[in-house]
Amino acid sequence: MDATQHEQATVQLTLTPQAAEQVRKVFEAEQAPTATAGLRVGVMPGGCSGFKYALNIEDAPSEDDQVIESEGVRLFVDSFSGQYLNGVTIDYMVTMQSSGFTFDNPNATGGCGCGSSFTV
Whether the Cβ atoms of residue 105 and residue 82 lie closer than 8 Å to each other: no
Q: Which residues is 104 bridged to in the sheet? A: 89
Q: Which residues is 69 bridged to in the sheet? A: 74
CATH number at residue 91: 2.60.300.12
Q: How many domains does the chain have?
A: 1
Whether the Cβ atoms of residue 8 and residue 1 lie closer than 8 Å to each other: no
pLDDT in tens, 1-54: 444 444 556 899 999 999 999 999 999 999 999 899 999 999 988 766 678 889
- What pLDDT is recorded for position 47? 63
Q: Is 5 inside a domain boundary?
A: no
- Residue 78 belongs to what domain range? 11-111
Q: Is 117 inside a domain boundary?
A: no
Q: Is 45 inside a domain boundary?
A: yes
Q: How far apart are the first and last CA of the chain?
A: 33
| Tally of residues, the chain | 120
Whether the Cβ atoms of residue 82 and residue 40 lie closer than 8 Å to each other: no
Half-sphere exposure of 56 (CA within 13 A, CB side): 13
Is 71's pLDDT higher than 90?
Answer: yes
Whether the Cβ atoms of residue 49 and residue 90 lie closer than 8 Å to each other: no
The pTM of the whole model exceeds 0.85: no
Q: Is 102 inside a domain boundary?
A: yes
Q: Is 3 inside a domain boundary?
A: no
Q: Is 76 inside a domain boundary?
A: yes
Whether the Cβ atoms of residue 57 and residue 32 lie closer than 8 Å to each other: yes
